Structure 1
Amino acid sequence: MAKYDKADIERRMKGAIEALKGDLSGLRTGRANTSLLDPVMVEVYGSMMPLNQVATVSAPEPRMLSVQVWDKANITPVEKGIARANLGLNPMIDGQTLRLPLPDLTEERRKDLAKLAGEYGEKAKIAIRNVRRDGMETLKEDEKKKEISEDDRKRSEDEVQKLTDKYVADTDEAVAAKVKEILTQ
């Protein structure tokens, strides 16, 4: 097993936070956000491609998304891709542009989205704790191999725990901010 590397542990914990932020940005609030369409895949040219590789997405108004399709032949596949993503959006075709008005969120839908944000947060915390466990195991093995002393192991374990606490707190903060955004817009 690898030697203890604090920078690697921190990098992996940051990765869990970045993944969480990506997941949270895909949750719809009352405002138009271009990242809402990030998960949309479109079947064009015989393969599945992300929407952003066949069109430009913008938010011209607070409650409207606009999808400018580059190739006229791809308008129908883009429309189908958006429908398949099950985001509750009904595209209106306007030439080579699809306009997506955002309907108001119902109270029930807001609660579902808030719950989903919490689930994403829990997934990120599990990932962070797994990184902590890996770090602790590496430290114990390093001590067994006589590469570090018991004092060094304990000091490093404290570092790993502090990093874990910091990133778990960052996770809670990100989820709380998203839940507030969902419930108040």
Structure 2
Amino acid sequence: MSLINCARSYSNTPRNKRKKSSSSSSSSPDDEASSPPIELPTISSISSSLSTITTTFTTTIKNYQATSTLPIPLFESIPCEAYGPGTGSSPLSTAAQVLASTSDPTVVEIACYDPSTVKAVAAAVMESRDVLALVGSVNPQVDEGTGIVMVKVPKMGRERREGIAALVKDAGESATQKCRGVRRDGMEGVKKAVKGGGGVGKDEGKRREKEIDAKCKEAVKDIDDIVKQRVQEILG
């Protein structure tokens, strides 16, 4: 058949047949319906997320002690980019040994494993909000030759206690916000499951929302109780 005859043959083809032919390669409704239904968020997954938040919070505030003992763990946990910005942050304990000075019991001595990192380590200490709240003002002594940073920690007074209590409160607020984030994500998951056409009814969705809300309120109350107890212990 010549090209002219082919063109005539196509022009004589009904438009509805052309459309049917062109759409034959597109996805069918059955393909779209084959996607798995959205399930409700489980209470076990919600509880697990909340438990992780609470555990991290309690671990963090263990470093906030109002005692005469030097807060070595607090210094060890300071985020530090030992080899400069963009090299990755890790706890200061991975870059240096932290211990009480043998010559002065009120001084924290930080001995860098690599003396070339001493400036970065000193900068991390100076920028640490935890240390600032604990010490009041940070002016570390730096010995570039030996790679040692020394920080004097004042005696435990009212101002220092209030600084430590503020750290506990801030950690509690951060943990509370994370719990609210778990609640928000859980509620959004319920809405998607109800709208997803997977057989989850509105009543079932509302029950799950109440369960999620109760779990999150319980976790927030636990955190609040821990904060109040620790602040009372610190302030005396």
Tell me whether the two structures share a fold, i.e. TM-score over 0.5: yes
The answer to whether structure 1 residue 14 and structure 2 residue 51 are counterparts is yes
Contact in 1 for aligned 2:80/2:120 (Cα 8 Å): no
Q: Which of residues 55, 72, 76 in structure 2 aligns to 1:34?
A: 72
Contact in 1 for aligned 2:97/2:110 (Cα 8 Å): yes
Judged with a 3 Å threshold, the aligned counterparts in structure 2 of structure 1 residues 179 and 153 are, in CA distance, closer, same or farther, namely: same
Unmatched segments (≥5 aa) in structure 2: 1-36
Judged with a 3 Å threshold, the aligned counterparts in structure 2 of structure 1 residues 2 and 55 are, in CA distance, closer, same or farther, namely: farther
CA-to-partner distance for each residue in 1:23-55, whole Å, 9 max, x for gaps? 534546334333312224254378565422221
Higher relative contact order (CA 8 A, sep 6+): 1
Alignment partners' CA distance in 2, 1:48 and 1:141: 37
Letter matched to residue 174 of structure 1: I
Partner residue, 1:44: 83
CA-to-partner distance for each residue in 1:139-176, whole Å, 9 max, x for gaps? 23323335323443344233313321321122113312
Q: Which moved more, 1:123-132 or 1:37-46?
A: 37-46
The answer to whether structure 1 residue 69 and structure 2 residue 112 are counterparts is yes
Alignment partners' CA distance in 2, 1:40 and 1:146: 46
Alignment partners' CA distance in 2, 1:79 and 1:137: 44
Distance apart, 1:129 and its partner CA: 1.9
Partner residue, 2:14: none
Alignment partners' CA distance in 1, 2:128 and 2:163: 17
Partner residue, 1:135: 186
Q: Which of residues 157, 165, 173 in structure 1 aligns to 2:209?
A: 157
Letter matched to residue 80 of structure 2: M
Residues paired across the two proteins, number? 184
Judged with a 3 Å threshold, the aligned counterparts in structure 2 of structure 1 residues 85 and 140 are, in CA distance, closer, same or farther, namely: closer
Question: Where do 4+ consecutive residues of structure 1 move more than 6 Å?
Answer: none
TM-score scaled to structure 2, two decimals? 0.59
Partner residue, 2:128: 85
Q: Which of residues 94, 97, 102 in structure 1 aligns to 2:153?
A: 102
The answer to whether structure 1 residue 57 and structure 2 residue 98 are counterparts is yes
CA-to-partner distance for each residue in 1:100-142, whole Å, 9 max, x for gaps? 4431243234224323422332232222122112212322332
Judged with a 3 Å threshold, the aligned counterparts in structure 2 of structure 1 residues 130 and 71 are, in CA distance, closer, same or farther, namely: closer
SS in 2 for 1:44: coil
SS in 1 for 2:46: helix
The answer to whether structure 1 residue 117 and structure 2 residue 168 are counterparts is yes
Q: Which moved more, 1:88-97 or 1:158-167?
A: 88-97
Unmatched segments (≥5 aa) in structure 1: none
Contact in 2 for aligned 1:128/1:168 (Cα 8 Å): yes
Alignment partners' CA distance in 1, 2:127 and 2:170: 23
Letter matched to residue 72 of structure 2: T
Alignment partners' CA distance in 1, 2:211 and 2:101: 46
Contact in 2 for aligned 1:42/1:80 (Cα 8 Å): no
Judged with a 3 Å threshold, the aligned counterparts in structure 2 of structure 1 residues 77 and 158 are, in CA distance, closer, same or farther, namely: closer
Contact in 2 for aligned 1:129/1:164 (Cα 8 Å): yes
Letter matched to residue 48 of structure 2: R
Judged with a 3 Å threshold, the aligned counterparts in structure 2 of structure 1 residues 76 and 141 are, in CA distance, closer, same or farther, namely: closer
